[in-house]
Amino acid sequence: MATAPVLDTTPDTRRPPLPHGCTFDAEDWYVLGRFWYPVALVRDVAEKPIGTKLLDQPLVVYRSGGEVVVATDVCPHRGVPLSMGTQADDTVVCPYHGLRFGAGGKCVHVPAHPARDIPARLNLRTFPAIERYGLIWTCLDPVGEAPAPGDIPDMPHWDEDGFQQITCPSTDIAGFAGRQLEGFLDVAHFAFVHTETFADPDNAEVPAYSPKRTDYGFEAEYWSSVGNYPIGVSQRGVPGFQWLRHFRCHLPFTATLEIHFPGSDRLVIMNAASPVSARMTRLFAPIARNFDTDLPVQDVYDFNQRIFDEDKIIVEAQMPEWLPLDPGDEGHIPADMSSMTYRRGLKALGLKRFFGY
């Protein structure tokens, strides 16, 4: 006689719980949850706790002494977001009953029972918090094969003498991080999308280039005559100069672009697309440069914001909203070598369809 199948109710202890209302497909969420993403600017973590989201997980970011804490943005007492609270004496204070949480997310004070021991159940669930490039980076699924801090994408020249470090304010895009990052790697759109900022509408042709796979994703060296000076700047157009754009793509959603200006001038931009949810991306952009280092950083913020805004219009309009990984789902042109390599790399991570079918 056949026996009835036994329902396996053993809890999966390796995997963290999916966030409430998760907008990603579960399997893809677990792949994406293994990587490091920025969630705040270091300079913004100051007098008030910051509420944010990463992969649909609500997070609170606050300071306790010299330490930055990243924790679930839910008070373990009665579920109020701690980002609605205040920062006091190296703790974050819940606005409902005044519980206080300090280093490591530990509950250190219960005003209704100041003399009693505090149960561990009142501690916050925390995630690693690492400061790099003026940003706080975290990882939601450090269980099991936890990524090491070294897995935070590398930014060329950031720590080098002579380079100025500029962390642009973040910008929000109502679109998928994969679409945004792919746009950052795309060299065929300059002459159509960026003509108000740096590109030349009469220079649309894309010379051949060959991406190379690396352990973190891939890199591509792209040579062309498309300049990178702001439109209207007097030295724009150095006759015969071939610009080198060196892209390094760190799967899944971060890339750096190192631009070689005439002489030894270098500009590096990191495009770190932090997936707030499936259809919302917070773009963080640290920049390093070894020229104009005495000019106001506000000019850099403003110029780059204009470029991000030009791209944002496109990314927010693309359909489907996710990034199709099946090569048959969209048409391709030779200029899309980076895009094709990017999509293959995402597929190799085990990612499938992200969301939205």
Q: Which residues bind ligand FES (CB under 6 A)?
A: 75, 77-78, 80, 94, 96-97, 99
Q: Using CA atoms in the order 299, 301, 303, 308, what is the torsion angle rounded to 10 degrees? A: 180
The residue range among 2-10, 20-28, 304-312, 325-333 that interacts with Fe ion, by the rule CB under 5 A, is 304-312
Residue placing its CB nearer to Fe ion in the complex, 141 or 311: 311
- 10: exposed, middle or buried (Cβ count in 10 Å: 0-12, 13-18, 19+): exposed
CA distance 10 to 110: 35
CA distance 285 to 169: 8
In the bound complex, what is the minimum distance in angstroms from residue 194's beta carbon to Fe ion? 6
The answer to whether the beta carbons of residues 112 and 105 sit under 8 Å apart is no
In the bound complex, what is the minimum distance in angstroms from residue 309's beta carbon to Fe ion? 10
Residue placing its CB nearer to ligand FES in the complex, 107 or 268: 107
CA distance 139 to 149: 10
Number of Cβ within 10 Å of residue 326's Cβ equals 10
Residue placing its CB nearer to Fe ion in the complex, 219 or 310: 310
Nearest-CB residue to Fe ion?
Answer: 311
Residue 336 binds which of ligand FES, Fe ion, none (CB < 5-8 A, kind-dependent): none
Residue placing its CB nearer to ligand FES in the complex, 101 or 261: 101
CA distance 20 to 72: 12
Residue 96 binds which of Fe ion, ligand FES, none (CB < 5-8 A, kind-dependent): ligand FES
In the bound complex, what is the minimum distance in angstroms from residue 204's beta carbon to ligand FES? 57
In the bound complex, what is the minimum distance in angstroms from residue 52's beta carbon to ligand FES? 19
The answer to whether the beta carbons of residues 254 and 345 sit under 8 Å apart is no
Residue placing its CB nearer to Fe ion in the complex, 140 or 335: 335
Residue 97 binds which of Fe ion, ligand FES, none (CB < 5-8 A, kind-dependent): ligand FES
Q: Please, which residues have CB within 8 angstroms of residue 204's CB and are 6 or more apart in sequence?
A: 188, 190, 191, 192
Residue placing its CB nearer to ligand FES in the complex, 96 or 223: 96
- 71: exposed, middle or buried (Cβ count in 10 Å: 0-12, 13-18, 19+): buried
Residue 311 binds which of Fe ion, ligand FES, none (CB < 5-8 A, kind-dependent): Fe ion
In the bound complex, what is the minimum distance in angstroms from residue 245's beta carbon to Fe ion? 12
> Does residue 311 touch Fe ion according to CB under 5 A?
yes
In the bound complex, what is the minimum distance in angstroms from residue 117's beta carbon to Fe ion? 56
Q: Is the peptide bond before 320 cis (omega within 30 degrees of 0)?
A: yes
Residue placing its CB nearer to ligand FES in the complex, 97 or 332: 97
Q: Is the peptide bond before 252 cis (omega within 30 degrees of 0)?
A: yes
CA distance 281 to 42: 19
Residue 301 binds which of ligand FES, Fe ion, none (CB < 5-8 A, kind-dependent): none
In the bound complex, what is the minimum distance in angstroms from residue 71's beta carbon to ligand FES? 13
Q: Which residues bind Fe ion (CB under 5 A)?
A: 311
